[in-house]
Structure 1
Amino acid sequence: MFIAYVTVTIVAAVLTGSAAVAYLAGHSYPRAQLDMKRLPRSWAPVLGTVLAAGSSGLLAGIAVPLLGTLAAAGLVAYFVGAVVAHLRVGSRHLVGPAVFLAVSAAALVLSLDHHG
């Protein structure tokens, strides 16, 4: 079970870390997503920082289990919010946030199972 926990945690950290870099670097895709959801572009650095903290927390959680569990729970909440934001504006492009949500939820479940 440890191998599954570490593998899923690393995958989740890489996915959320890459999203964080896109937000923090000012890439056009996150800007377009903010515009589509009718959110201010000034939120991009904040959302990127939250994603970066979650990604870092997942990796740190391999050594400090409570931190990883809390980071995974925070990312699950973040991506539930992303799905809600899509639905709020009538967007049906839910594959992206659903994949991030599923991987974050898997990291949370495996963290809870592994660390009991």
Structure 2
Amino acid sequence: MHITALTLSALLAVAMLQSGVMKFVRPAWIRQFAEAVHLTTSQLHVLGSLQIAATVGLIWGIWFPPFAIAAAIGLVLYFVGAIVAHIRTGDRNMLGAMVFLTFSIATSIVLGVDVFLT
């Protein structure tokens, strides 16, 4: 179970780092997503910072698992909020948020079970 927890944490960390950095770089496709849910540039930067902070927590969690669990749970809340924002604005393009939500939930569960069993 420990290898699974580490693998999921590392994969989620890489995905969140890439997504967080893209919110600062703001290529055209990110700007389109942001406009669809009415996000300003400063809000986009805050969201990117949260994803990068989660990346740090997931990586630190390799040595101190409560950090990884907290980061993964934070990402669950982050993506629930993202889905709510899509629904409130009538934007149906929320597949990415749903995939990341599922990935964050799975990582949280596996990390919790791993800590509980060790």
Q: In which range does the TM-score fall when normalised by the shorter chain?
A: over 0.9
2:63 equivalent in structure 1? 63
Q: Distance in 2 between matches of 1:53 and 1:75?
A: 10
Q: Distance in 2 between matches of 1:72 and 1:102?
A: 11
Flag structure 1 segments of 5+ consecutive residues without an equivalent: none
**Residue identity in the other structure for 1:94:** M
CA RMSD of aligned residues (A): 1.1
Q: Distance in 1 between matches of 2:60 and 2:28?
A: 30
Q: Distance in 1 between matches of 2:56 and 2:102?
A: 18
1:100 equivalent in structure 2? 100
Please give the per-residue CA displacement for 1:18-70, whole angstroms capped at 9, x wherever unaligned.
Answer: 10110122222222211100122221111111000001111111111111111
Q: Distance in 1 between matches of 2:3 and 2:111?
A: 11
Q: Distance in 2 between matches of 1:112 and 1:74?
A: 14
**Structure 1 ranges of 4+ moved more than 6 A:** none
Contact 1:35 1:41 in 2 (8 A): no
Q: Distance in 2 between matches of 1:41 and 1:34?
A: 8
**Residue identity in the other structure for 1:4:** T
Q: Distance in 1 between matches of 2:84 and 2:58?
A: 23
Q: Distance in 1 between matches of 2:10 and 2:54?
A: 12
TM-score of the two chains, using structure 1 as the length reference: 0.94
Q: Distance in 2 between matches of 1:21 and 1:6?
A: 22
Contact 1:24 1:45 in 2 (8 A): yes
User: Percent identity at matched positions?
Assistant: 34
Q: Distance in 1 between matches of 2:25 and 2:109?
A: 31
**Residue identity in the other structure for 1:115:** V
| 2:106 is the alignment partner of 1:111 | no
Name which of structure 1's ranges 28-37 and 54-63 shifts more when overlaid on structure 2.
Answer: 28-37
**Number of equivalenced pairs:** 116
2:79 equivalent in structure 1? 79
Please give the per-residue CA displacement for 1:55-99, whole angstroms capped at 9, x wherever unaligned.
Answer: 111111111111111111111100000111111111222211011
